[in-house]
Chain A
């Protein structure tokens, strides 16, 4: 009788065994039923305005990296708007090298990334504010690259270019 009881107890304890791959946390996330009232003039944490940082080489390199991830599919590496997705049928965006965009303030590019423009969706949840400035700075560099003259090159380096 004792042996049977021990046997049953063992099975009862063993029944609790699994490989423990599922371990629900004690504090589960419970969202608010309705959004609490937000005071006026508040913005989401990620969306707080960020002042344009000073343009440095590091900023441009960061901008180039982010540009290649998020922008080149449509705008292409050159910024002329003939990216791969455009080649597959997406309405072509304007080239960065037209007069309107060359004259546009740098904030314009920041705002377009944040809010989208025409067929372009917002990139606010993909590109963080600091990176938007980096991309805007890189777009300025791209614009310069297509409108540079030999006079822009330092005198001692001109020999290499010609």
Chain B
């Protein structure tokens, strides 16, 4: 009796088995990896805003300090989003006819806040406080990146728990002198005090900064 399968069927069967195993592994890799991509986490993906505000222009171009707009960053948990009044401090006099700024002018005229779309969002069970990080030597760019190079704002870090604990478990290397907190281009140089010296300077305790209750209540 003639064989049902030709010899080449062996190869086909092996390929199909291997392919199935491969597809299964790829599925697991995708299931694990896809939620961790910058695409899903919106890292470095710009968000449409009512006004295409450029941090690059205002910070690098004009040299305006972070705190000119984010006034409460040193004293409150929330860094503060500027009211329209702050925008109009300058734009009542310059670029007064720019179509781009019409929503800003309308906002002030009608006393209706501009609704910006949130970029950095933390889950509500995380009690993050800006002021303590500023006071203890963590600079803006450690989490928000080189904001002065962003024509349109986007999230620069994943802001996952892993991101937070990577620093909370070893804060020293991420600390900087108080004078450099708002320097968006700062990086560690030979003159920078050692991580251990900065830990001591800021009285950062040996107590475990990865305790649950540091961030969760």
Interface residues of A (CB under 8 A from B): 19-24, 68-70, 72-73, 84-85, 88-91, 119-121, 125-126
Contact = CB atoms under 8 A, between A and B. Distances in A.
B62 A68 contact: no
Given A21-B124, A22-B124, A88 B62 contact: yes
B125 A121 contact: no
A125 B125 CA distance: 30
Q: Which 9 A-B pairs have the closest CB atoms?
A: A21-B123, A23-B124, A69-B65, A121-B89, A89-B94, A69-B67, A126-B71, A90-B93, A84-B62
Interface in B52-101: 62-65, 67-68, 71, 83, 85-86, 88-90, 92-94
Given A20-B123, A20-B125, A69 B92 contact: no
Contact of A121 (B92, B94, B121, B124): B92
Interface residues of B, number: 20
A19 B123 contact: yes
B90 A85 contact: yes
Contacts of A84: 62-63
B145 to A, nearest CB: 21
Contacts of B125: 20-21, 23
B93 A126 contact: no
A73 B64 contact: yes
A121 B94 CA distance: 14
Contacts of B123: 19-23
Contacts of A73: 62-64, 68, 90
Contacts of A89: 93-94
Nearest to B67: A69
Given A20-B123, A20-B125, A121-B85, A85 B62 contact: yes
29 contacts: A20-B125, A21-B121, A21-B123, A21-B124, A23-B123, A23-B124, A23-B125, A24-B124, A68-B65, A69-B67, A70-B68, A72-B63, A73-B62, A73-B68, A84-B63, A85-B62, A85-B90, A88-B62, A89-B93, A89-B94, A90-B90, A91-B93, A120-B89, A121-B85, A121-B88, A121-B92, A125-B83, A125-B85, A126-B68
Contacts of A70: 65, 68
A85 B93 CA distance: 10
A105 B12 CA distance: 94
Nearest to B64: A73
Contacts of B88: 121
Nearest to B82: A126
Given A22-B123, A126-B71, 16 more contacts: A21-B125, A23-B123, A69-B65, A70-B68, A72-B63, A73-B62, A73-B90, A85-B90, A89-B94, A90-B93, A90-B94, A119-B93, A121-B85, A121-B89, A125-B83, A126-B86
Contacts of B94: 85, 88-90
Contacts of A119: 92-93
B120 to A, nearest CB: 13
B212 to A, nearest CB: 15
Contacts of A23: 123-125
A119 B92 CA distance: 8
Contacts of B65: 68-70
Contacts of B67: 69
Contacts of A90: 90, 93-94
Interface in B105-153: 121, 123-125
